Structures are given as C-alpha cells and as structure tokens.
Chains A and B, each alone.
Chain A
C-alpha cells in the first residue's frame, strides 16, 4: 500500500534553533517528492521538489534531502524564525499512471517560540 509517514507529529523549538523533519514513504514507482508549508488558515505553499536523481535541494533556510534507496526524506530548517510556525507536509508522486497520483503525509506541526 502506498503511504507517506511523517515524524514527529508535532515539534516545539526556540527561535534561532535548527530542526529536522522526517518523511518516510512506500510509494512505488517513485516520481518526485515535494515539501509544502501550510500556515494556519491558508493553503499549502511549495518549498522544494526533488526527483529521483536529486539528493538535496535548498530554498533559503530550508534544505530538503532525499534518499531514494531507503525511501526517506528530511526537511532541515536553519536558524528558525517565528514565521516558520506552520504545518510541513510531505507529498510523494508516483509515476505508475498518467495521473501521477499524489500521496500526502499528515504533516508535522512546527511551533517556534520566542
């Protein structure tokens, strides 16, 4: 069964600290993996997209890594800011059909305290 599991479910850190969010997936055949940030009351916004051949991709203070062999991805946030408080969602796309079906994780709720 194709699944996307994220951990931790929630995380609280102090402003200025770093953190790493995890995403494990069983989706096969794999096409790409995306991380989205969803602020409370808003729609998700894309942070990074990685295909099979990409191991790492950065977007400012956000760095995503991908290990396609172990089917794991991580999102590292450097020097956290209060505005980083949000839900971070991992989304994996399969390439088993023309639809390119998306599998969503439940997200990690990050809270940054001053």
Chain B
C-alpha cells in the first residue's frame, strides 16, 4: 500500500474562508499532483509538481495555489472558499525515474463549502 497521506479526510467550511489541504508522501517521489473528482465524473488535474520549487497549473487551477518546499509535502490552498469548490480532492505521486510508474493516490479530502 502506498505511503501517501491527506488531511483532513473531511472538511466543512463557510464561504470566504481560507483553507489548506495537506498532502505528504514518504516514497521520495519527485512528481506530485492534485486532482479534483466529482461523483460520476473523470478526475481533473488542478496542479502538479516535478520536484522541489517546481509547480505548474493544470486544468482547474485558477482559484487555488500550491507549494513544493520539500519533496514529501505538497499542500493545496484555497484563498477564499466558495460553494463551487465543494468536491473530492485527491493527491497523488509517482516515481519520475520509471516512465510507466503508476500514480499512487491518497484517500482524498472531501470538502464541503456552505
């Protein structure tokens, strides 16, 4: 089982609040990703990182930011939460050294913005 952890597992927060979703992995993977998943829909890439101090925007990144100060840590921040941010957020990592390495996912943070 992959060693990638997300906290909190569930979060209910009011509109306008600033929140940070935590993601940590102990596998030493260089690549890390944030995905958003709604029921019955495909995963959408929010942000990704190829290593320390390297971050890029994905498809749905316009209202969130990430940082990669340490290899093992890749937090996602929403500066001002809105009801449209209600979703499941999945963090993942992969071994860049292996071209066909699978993604290792955390168990997600289910966010509800009221």
CA distance A101 to B108 in the complex (A): 21
Q: Do A32 and B100 contact each other (CB < 8 Å), given the known contacts A43-B90, A102-B45?
A: yes
CB-defined contacts of A107 to chain B, threshold 8 Å: 40, 42
CA distance A81 to B100 in the complex (A): 29
Q: How near does chain B come to A27, taking the closest CB pair, in angstroms?
A: 13
Q: Report which of A43, A89, A106 forms a contact with B108, defined as CB distance below 8 A.
A: A43
Contact with B along A22-55 (1 / 0, CB 8 A): 0000000000101010000111111001010000
Whether B100 lies near A51 (C-beta < 8 A) is yes
Q: Report which of B41, B45, B99, B105 forms a contact with A43, defined as CB distance below 8 A.
A: B105
Q: Tell me, yes or no, whether B11 is within 8 Å of chain A by CB.
A: no
CA distance A32 to B102 in the complex (A): 11
Q: How near does chain A come to B72, taking the closest CB pair, in angstroms?
A: 17
Q: How near does chain B come to A95, taking the closest CB pair, in angstroms?
A: 9
CA distance A32 to B2 in the complex (A): 21
Whether A104 lies near B90 (C-beta < 8 A) is no
Q: Is the interface of B mostly helix, strand, loop or mixed?
A: loop
CB-defined contacts of A109 to chain B, threshold 8 Å: 40
Whether B107 lies near A42 (C-beta < 8 A) is yes
Whether B41 lies near A106 (C-beta < 8 A) is yes
CB-defined contacts of B105 to chain A, threshold 8 Å: 43-45
* CB pairs A–B below 8 angstroms (29 shown): A9-B40, A32-B100, A34-B102, A36-B102, A36-B103, A41-B107, A41-B108, A42-B108, A43-B4, A43-B90, A43-B92, A43-B105, A43-B106, A43-B107, A43-B108, A44-B90, A44-B103, A45-B105, A49-B100, A49-B102, A51-B100, A89-B42, A89-B43, A102-B45, A102-B103, A105-B42, A106-B42, A107-B42, A109-B40
Which residues of B line the A interface, CB within 8 A? 2, 4, 40-43, 45, 90, 92, 99-100, 102-108
Extra contacts besides A36-B102, A42-B108, A102-B45 (15): CB < 8 Å: A32-B100, A41-B108, A43-B105, A43-B108, A44-B105, A45-B105, A46-B103, A49-B102, A100-B99, A102-B103, A104-B42, A106-B40, A106-B41, A106-B42, A109-B40
